[in-house]
Structure 1
């Protein structure tokens, strides 16, 4: 019966040993000797899984946070890497099965599909970089992003640095404009807006790093001084508060 219904899980099912005393089934936490979950054992399991995962994705995560781009885009790329972006695939995992398909072609909306492989993102076929690299040829987003950081933009765009995060962000905003305002953008418009945003951000970084002229102390009025004895005598005779702009020596 097991072989006919669940042939792919035969070994796992046959390893299950029912209780010889007829006890009811219950959940057991295998990471602890007692079978009871504890925060300590859960932490050790999570740490072990994180070590395995970080070994495979270490370069990918470093590339996200080391990329010279807006902090907003750092967070956006990190959400994509962690599966926290409101894409159709992630919504379906949380039980939200409506509107999980791509608005452009009807396929399941994943990070790889909407940002790399959808026909709407033919933006990658435009002449952007000096090499023949195309993110559309990458199987995963984690492969496309680190690869794009090594490329050089063509001179007509007048920009240095990695344009990939800005294009991905504009693809996402174009999708939202289509959903909420029924406004469609062409691939060329998306690329143009991405380049414009990248230029504005880079120019802002240059202006904030320029040294500022020190403020002259002569612009402030000189403090007026009086002796402590004179002030105490004045206070006792008149009862007035401390005059503004005075200090006592």
Structure 2
């Protein structure tokens, strides 16, 4: 018999059931194969797995409005709008934004995976960000007024000058970098 197992589809992939059932089955009864829905090609890649986990973290984030981080190329240009995202009151974050803490927790989780092989779930990563943000918020004290003249002025770059800023991490024991 050449029919979809509707009960199995509904059990395993209820969000995709309608789309799956629209697919015509092979007249030649070609064998099934596994595909990854995170890529157009259907092949799993580490990058697509990481991207999917990050999509889930932002989806679960207790923010009053959804953050669309896709297509962000220049973090500096969107930083003010990201930091203006408000947290839901149940988080206990009294001041500041959760977004920088989410970015920090994602960075730490990625490095911990690269350097220690430890996998943190999206839920664990988000919980870590909320804990850090709450701790910061509860212990934050206003900064005293600072004389602006005490800061060193960064000279303007000439038009033919390229400024490059980078960051790196190194574990001398395992000799891994990131």
Tell me the TM-score normalised to structure 2 length: 0.46
**What TM-score do the two structures reach when normalised by structure 1?**
0.34
- Kindly indicate which of the two structures has a greater share of residues assigned to helix: 1
Higher Rg: 1
